[in-house]
Amino acid sequence: MSAQRELRLRTCGALRAGAPALPDQQRTMKTKVIQVSGLLLTLVYAALILWLYATEPRSFKEAASGAELAAGTYQINQEKFAAGQRLFLAEQFRAARAEWQQADPAQGDARTQFYIAYSFYREGWGRVYYDQDLFKQGLEAAKRAANLSATSQLTVADPNLQMHTVAELQAELEQGLERTLSDANPLKVFRTRK
Amino acid sequence: MHFILLPMIFLTVALLGGVRIGLDHALIFVAPPLITLVLAILLLSLLVRGRLVELHRWLATDQAPLTNVSHGWLLLTLFFASAQAFNSALPERGLLHWLFSFFFLWTLWNNQFSVFDARRLLRSLIVLFGTAFVVKHILLANLYGPEGGWLTKVAGTLLRGASLGTLDATPFAPASGYLAFFTLALYLAGLFLLAFHPPGEAEARLAAPTDREFLIDVDAIRQDKAESRVERLLP
């Protein structure tokens, strides 16, 4: 209650000395509660908008997966992942990637991203030359895997693979993208795929 | 309303203003280009000149700090909503983007020197955004869209060829147009609410006595008068 108003009411005798001015206090309190809750609510909404623009989900499903990832409750589809592995071993790399992309729509699982990168490596590897586009995509996936496993070193103990860490795979993909004089070496046809 | 509803409306405009729906029905988020921020500042200054935003009532030293913070936040959401409303009405790339930007810039700049009141400003904004919406989401979307008759396709190809590709526009799904319409309508509705219920009114209402308190005042005056009469009558 403003001092002027209080003085006016006291002069009129409406408020006795020492009597609490309850209605005004209640209203001020109510306004404060509305202001604080409004601020909090709209700040949370603004944070959600920023997050949406930062992650740019392509569908509502992807947005939901992203939210799960942010909340730490994200889990990949294990069945799809296993199906992708079977296709990978059968050298059907594109089909394997399609399965893994469905298994990990939010691209939030380091192991799945490692396998996707590996499939790009194996598909792009050639005895005479490497497919640059596939290697570039593989490098992107490997970088995603590296970012996701930044806190702990990811080691994939799969006997069907010859590279078990993201660092090895990333180095191999980067090497394949480099243009050097050794590319002209005819003996490179004897190198083996990892 | 000024602490919850209006910020929510303006934030929703800020969210939807940059959302497009691709031809494959994928969501595309277009961050506001730099020019939209400049346009938003010009529009805010116009809103202040048109007394739709009364800064002296929104941010005042005699108000509680929390009220000032809330009004400041409302101003910020209004700024981002304005930027995204422009983003929604502007073509995404090419010469058309710059033509539209120049059209907005010219109109807003000219309006800075005109005499405005809130109603005239709102009418002017409806015309401004309405024109941009019709040109972008109806005219250009039909000209460059994958659907349409052979005449539309020929006109689109001719326009693209004659302008050497500079008048090219990104085709989106028709849902983008509906979304833009809803966004602009929501933005203008927010401005209307702001015009008819400006912040500061609620605080003024709070400071004014309620009917009950007014009756208490009247009773007290009556009582005082009666007492003074009795005092006069008594020896």
Distances (CA, A) of B134 to A65, B88, B91, B97: 36, 12, 12, 15
B 12-71 near A (Cβ less than 8 A): 14-15, 18, 25-29, 31, 64, 66-67, 69-70
Residues B23, B173 contacting (CB under 8 angstroms): yes
CB distance B206–A12 less than 8 Å?
no
Q: What is the pLDDT of residue B78?
A: 94
* Among B27, B21, B173, residue whose Cα is nearest residue A63: B27
Q: Give the pLDDT of residue A99.
A: 94
Give the distance from residue A34's alpha carbon to the nearest chain B alpha carbon, in angstroms: 7
What pLDDT shows up at residue A5? Answer: 54
State which amino acid sits at residue B17: G
Q: How many CB pairs under 8 A join A and B?
A: 79
Per-residue pLDDT of A142-158, as tens digits, reads 999 998 887 777 888 88
Q: CA–CA distance from A83 to each of A118, A138, A141 (Å)? A: 16, 20, 19
> Which chain B residue is nearest to residue A38, measuring alpha carbons?
B4
Q: Which of A9, A38, A41 sits opposite B217 (nearest CB)?
A: A9
Higher pLDDT, B96 or B45: B45
* Residue among A12, A38, A49 whose CB faces B217 most closely: A12
Q: Are B167 and B15 in contact (CB under 8 A)?
A: no
Lowest mean pLDDT among A115-129, A152-166, B3-17, B186-200: B186-200
B9 closest CA partner among B57, B71, B74: B74
Q: Is ipTM strictly over 0.90?
A: no
Q: What pLDDT sits at residue A12? A: 46
Amino acid B135: pLDDT: 86
- Mean pLDDT across B205-224: 59
pLDDT at A116 over 60: yes
Report the pLDDT averaged over residues B201-216. 54
Q: Using alpha carbons only, give the angle B41, B43, B44 rounded to the nearest 5 degrees.
A: 65
Which pLDDT band, with edges at 50, 70 and 90, does A13 fall under? Answer: very low
Nearest residue of A to residue B14 by CA position? A49
Phi, psi of B210, rounded to the nearest 5 degrees: -80, 170
Select the residue of A2, A27, A32 nearest B66 (Cβ to Cβ): A32
Name which of A2, A25, A29, A35 to mutate to probe chain B: the one with the most chain B Cβ atoms within 10 A of its Cβ: A35
Interface test with A, best of B71, B87, B206 (most A CBs within 10 A): B206
Q: Specify whether the CB–CB gap between A114 and A145 falls below 8 A.
A: yes
Does A72 score more than 70 pLDDT?
Answer: yes
> Residue B188: its pLDDT value, please?
92
pLDDT digits (tens, 9 = 90+) for B125-175: 898 889 889 988 888 777 766 666 666 666 666 666 666 565 666 778 888
Per the prediction, chain A carries an average pLDDT of: 83
Distance of CA B66 to the CA centre of its chain: 23
Torsion sign across C-alpha atoms B126, B132, B138, B141: negative
Domain A78-190: homologous superfamily in CATH: Tetratricopeptide repeat domain (1.25.40.10)
Q: Which residues of A are less than 8 Å from B200 in CB distance?
A: none
- Whether residue A8 is predicted with pLDDT greater than 90 in this model: the reply is no
| pLDDT score, position A70 | 78
The tens digit of pLDDT for each residue in A149-189 reads 877 778 888 898 999 999 999 999 998 888 877 777 777 77
Contact B3 A32 (CB under 8 A): no
Distance (Å, rounded) from C-alpha A86 to C-alpha A121?
17
Is the CB of A53 inside 8 Å of chain B's CB atoms? Answer: yes
User: How many Å apart are CA B193 and CA B74, to the nearest integer?
Assistant: 13
- Cβ of residue B204 closer than 8 Å to a chain A Cβ: no
The answer to whether residues A118 and A194 touch, using CB atoms and an 8 Å cutoff, is no
B31 vs A contacts (CB less than 8 Å): 53
What would the two tokens of residue B174 be? Answer: 């028709």
d(CA A173, CA A61): 31
**Percent of chain B whose pLDDT exceeds 70:** 75
Distance from CA of A156 to the nearest CA of B (A): 33
Of chain A, the percentage scoring pLDDT greater than 70 comes to 88
Interface with B, mutate which of A7, A49, A50, A62 (most B CBs under 10 A)? A49
Answer with the residue of higher pLDDT: B3 or A110.
A110
Please state which of the ranges A123-127, A133-137, B116-120 shows the lowest mean pLDDT: B116-120
Residues of B in contact with A60 (CB under 8 A): 27
Tell me which chain B residues have a C-beta less than 8 angstroms from the C-beta of A57.
27
A12 CB within 8 Å of a chain B CB:
yes
Each domain of chain B, given as residue ranges in start order, spans 5-199, 204-235
Q: How far is CA A34 from CA A38, B168, B197, in A?
A: 6, 48, 17
Residue A42 is nearest to which of B11, B18, B224, comparing CB atoms?
A: B11
CB atoms within 10 A of CB B116: 17
Q: Give the nearest partner residue to B220 out of A14, A46, A59, using CB atoms.
A: A14
Q: Is the pLDDT of residue A97 over 90?
A: yes
- What digits encode the pLDDT tens for the residues A18-57? 455 556 777 777 778 888 888 999 999 999 999 999 988 8
State residue B216's pLDDT score.
62
